[in-house]
Amino acid sequence: MQSRELILEPADNLRLANLCGQFDEHLRQLERRLGVEINNRGNAFHIIGESDSVDATGRVLEDLYREAGRETLTPAGVNLFLQQSGIEELLERAEAEEQETVIRTRRGFIKPRGPNQRRYVRNIFTHDINFGVGPAGTGKTYLAVACAVEAMERENIRRILLVRPAVEAGERLGFLPGDLAQKIDPYLRPLYDALYEMLGFEKVAKLIERNVIEVAPLAYMRGRTLNDAFIILDEAQNTTPEQMKMFLTRIGFGSTAVITGDVTQVDLPRGKSSGLRHVLEVLRDVQGISFTLFQSRDVVRHPLVQRIVEAYEGYRDEDGAGE
């Protein structure tokens, strides 16, 4: 993960408003297409992402700023500019040349698909705290579980913890039937499904019974220190900044944490900010933490899923529709 400061000259509020678009829609469009995060105060821009994407975004912003001085920019015009510039194709070609990465489990090999997934897995192998941020279907959760299973089978860790904020129930789960694990089962189903595929139903049940695999709502993590564990926090966009800080400070020696989420799908009550969006800004320059930003082109589910995601993004880009 790299960051870059960019000052667009000359300072011109009208040109800047034209560049950013209504409610910063042009900046959000560039974020989705180039896999970066863009923040600005006036004509000072801060770009966060992989090195090649950050450099490409800087060039695009400078070129678009020049265009903004000559004509009114629209989402469709920005989309056409990206296509004609060839920036996306160059990024895809450079990413495709990256070295292959494989996750090894007893049930076989799991091969990440595409450059972003490969980068994500390599980051998990080499960093203690990892963030995977992007739309559904990009493999964020599945690959995190696969890395956890490999680490357990290699005896690099002693247990796997599956954590998720139970926002829909307001983390007051008393009205749901069953014990704690059963109460939060619906929220952890994607994690369970991946475990069943890699380990089998019976083995997963035995590991949960022996507490080698532990499930817990985020609220129950307070006060704990987790050593020699692989911890996965799923749907992290539904944490508050305070909850995210609490979770990250639970990490102990010999542990790996993977935090996944989609900042466009926040279910928090109105007025509460997302801990995932907040932490991307707070920890962007902290060494030892990796950030992988996924895009719609990284979707690896049924081909129709990728087309659906891209159709929604195209509709939003061209018509300024909401999420």
CA distances from 173 to 12, 216, 221, 222, 267 (A): 52, 12, 15, 17, 17
Nearest residue to 260 (alpha-carbon basis) of 302, 293, 296: 293
- In this predicted structure, what is the pLDDT of residue 115? 81
C-alpha R_g of the chain: 21
Same fold, 2-94 and 101-316: no
- In this predicted structure, what is the pLDDT of residue 187? 64
- CATH code assigned to 2-94: 3.30.1370.10
Task: Report yes or no: 171 and 239 within 8 Å, Cβ to Cβ.
Answer: no
Summarize the confidence of residues 62-78 as an average pLDDT: 92
Summarize the confidence of residues 50-66 as an average pLDDT: 89
Which CATH architecture best describes the domain 101-316?
A: 3-Layer(aba) Sandwich (3.40)
The pLDDT of residue 147 is above 90: yes
pLDDT band at 178 (very low <50, low <70, confident <90, very high): low
Torsion of CA 302, 305, 311, 312, to 10 degrees: -170
Going from N- to C-terminal start, the domains of the chain cover 2-94, 101-316
Q: Which of 16-25, 150-159, 168-177, 300-309 is predicted least confidently? A: 168-177
- Helix extents (H) in 164-302: 180-199, 201-209, 241-248, 275-282
Distance of alpha carbon 118 from alpha carbon 150, whole angstroms: 16
Distance of alpha carbon 44 from alpha carbon 130, whole angstroms: 28
Distance of alpha carbon 70 from alpha carbon 72, whole angstroms: 7
What would the pLDDT profile of 276-288 be if each residue is shown by its tens digit? Answer: 999 998 998 888 8
- In this predicted structure, what is the pLDDT of residue 96? 53
What would the pLDDT profile of 207-246 be if each residue is shown by its tens digit? Answer: 999 999 998 888 888 888 889 999 999 999 999 999 999 9
